[in-house]
């Protein structure tokens, strides 16, 4: 474990349990305080909208174009992958992840925020669950966006959203009306 994270709450993705051989490990990143983690996803989304208004002076709606706008602002004003544990904007990353997840949920029909008993990856963060019959797909949007902020690897929030929409459509889920 990175010494700079010692004594701080961290989360290592449970997908590591399935790693075999020399597969790369997934990131360890600081979590925001427990108070924000206790919020329901809808409250996190409202906090994200309020934070964008206060920090960036923009009004956001829960739409893909507004997610793209937020993503562009974040690209200008944050430095994904360049943070130390002490300077990591964990709350901002969490709120952007919740906003991204909610836009995805509203875009593609069949998903909802999951309940703890449905959590196959044992994540302490909110996740989306898309179900159809006996099929279920868990999407860890909040975790994945936070990991992007920490490592700088992978797509930013809007790119992540686009990838997930495409993947869900390939699985037969359709755009919400």
**Radius of gyration over every alpha carbon of the chain, rounded to an integer in angstroms:** 16
User: What pLDDT digit, counting tens, does each position of 46-93 carry?
Assistant: 999 999 999 999 999 999 999 999 999 999 999 898 988 888 888 999
Is residue 63 included in any domain, yes or no? yes
Is residue 157 included in any domain, yes or no? yes
Q: What CATH number is given to the structural domain containing 140?
A: 1.20.120
Q: Which domain holds residue 48?
A: 32-170
pTM: 0.83
The total number of structural domains that make up the chain: 1
Q: Which segments of 21-150 are extended strands (E)?
A: 28-30, 111-113, 128-132, 135-139
Q: What pLDDT, on a 0 to 100 scale, did the predictor assign at position 27?
A: 56
């Amino acid at each position: 474990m990175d010494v700079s994270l010692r004594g701080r709450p961290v989360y290592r993705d449970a997908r590591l349990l399935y790693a075999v051989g020399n597969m790369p490990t997934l990131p360890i990143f600081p979590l925001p305080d427990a108070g924000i983690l206790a919020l329901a996803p809808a409250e996190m989304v409202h906090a994200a909208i309020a934070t964008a208004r206060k920090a960036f002076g923009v009004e956001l709606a829960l739409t893909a174009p507004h997610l793209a706008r937020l993503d562009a602002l974040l690209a200008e004003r944050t430095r994904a992958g360049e943070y130390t544990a002490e300077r990591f904007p964990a709350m901002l990353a969490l709120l952007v992840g919740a906003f991204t997840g909610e836009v995805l949920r509203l875009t593609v029909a069949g998903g909802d925020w999951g309940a703890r008993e449905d959590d196959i990856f044992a994540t302490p963060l909110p996740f989306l669950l898309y179900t159809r019959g006996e099929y279920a797909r868990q999407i860890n949007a909040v975790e994945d966006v936070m990991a992007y902020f920490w490592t700088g690897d992978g797509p930013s929030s809007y790119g992540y959203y686009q990838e997930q929409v495409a993947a869900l459509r390939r699985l037969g889920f359709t755009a919400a009306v």
